[in-house]
Amino acid sequence: MTANTRGFMDCNTKTVRTAIGVLLLILASISIAPINAKDVSPGPVADPHYNGVGFFDIHICNWPDRPLHVMALFSTTHFDDLDSVEILMPNQKPIGHLGLNKFRLAQTKDKKEKHVFISRFDIPTVASDGWYIAKIKMKNGKTYIAKDYVIIHTMPWVTDINPPNGAEDIPIPAELSWKPVPGAKYYQVFIRDLWKAKLVYTSKPLDKPHLKLPKGLIEPGGEYEWRIHAREGGENSLLGDFNHGSLTNAAFFSTTN
């Protein structure tokens, strides 16, 4: 899967964690019945996002190119033995299957090759908060289950960006900034050089609503587009890497010679 202006973020799964084994008996003991959002807690000690073959997570995405939707991912080092990954709602009705013909390459901490399979699905009208399920079938006939607790919610887009969209012939800015998004803990900035026709910068996750630009990144007489991905915090045994995110439309600015 290659990066582009509409998809280079893709909820940014670079933070996908290394798969660890979790006993199926423990996974089976976790209720899949919906619970109220007010009852959300850190969750069980055993992380239900993991199973014996990989890691599962779902993000609620507020993207400019389509209505609110879910992005489901499954990462695994057992990709050669993978037969199918079906995504189910809390009532166990299917949402769809992850496409296995496209994936991102990654590595575990011990340098094993890992494939990250990602698919986007429209949110069913009957969708509710609760444990969403990934049913992973292997070529040897074994089935594994992983779960992610999902709260249906729309994270707003970033607003009040600086430089403003459409700014032309401005001095090279020292930083990019924006208004904080309620509920967002981290931001990530993507900058595309229009003359070079490629993505030239992806920031690390930022906990403040501004980015100090690296020296020399923005050049005199240049034309640039930039986007901001906002998301709430992650690394939670209930909600996974993160649950909600938003991505802005590309904003344009140009610099003086």
Q: Is 186 helix (H, G, I), strand (E, B) or coil?
A: strand
**pLDDT at res. 241:** 58
Architecture of the domain whose range is 13-150? Sandwich (2.60)
Contact 55, 74 (CB under 8 A): yes
Q: Regarding the domain delimited by 159-255, which CATH topology (the fold level of the hierarchy) does it fall under?
A: Immunoglobulin-like (2.60.40)
Cβ atoms < 10 Å from Cβ of 110:
7
Q: Is 38 helix (H, G, I), strand (E, B) or coil?
A: helix
**pLDDT at res. 125:** 87
| Token code pair at residue 39 | 């009852």
Q: Whole-angstrom Cα distance, residue 192 to residue 190? A: 7
Phi and psi for 217 in degrees, rounded to 5? -65, -50
**pLDDT at res. 117:** 97
Contact 37, 129 (CB under 8 A): yes
Q: What does the DSSP assignment read for 201-212? A: EEPPPBSSSEEE
Residue with tokens 């429209």: 122
**pLDDT at res. 234:** 57
Q: Whole-angstrom Cα distance, residue 240 to residue 242? A: 5
Q: Which residues of the chain have pLDDT under 70?
A: 1-45, 234-242
**pLDDT at res. 243:** 80
Render pLDDT for 44-89 as a digit per residue (tens, 0 to 9).
447 899 999 999 999 999 999 889 999 999 999 999 999 999 999 9
Which residues partner with 69 through β-bridges?
A: 61, 122
Phi and psi for 37 in degrees, rounded to 5? -60, -30
Whole-angstrom CA distances from 8 to 2, 35, 122, 202 are 7, 34, 20, 9
User: Cis link prior to 163 (omega < 30° from 0)?
Assistant: yes
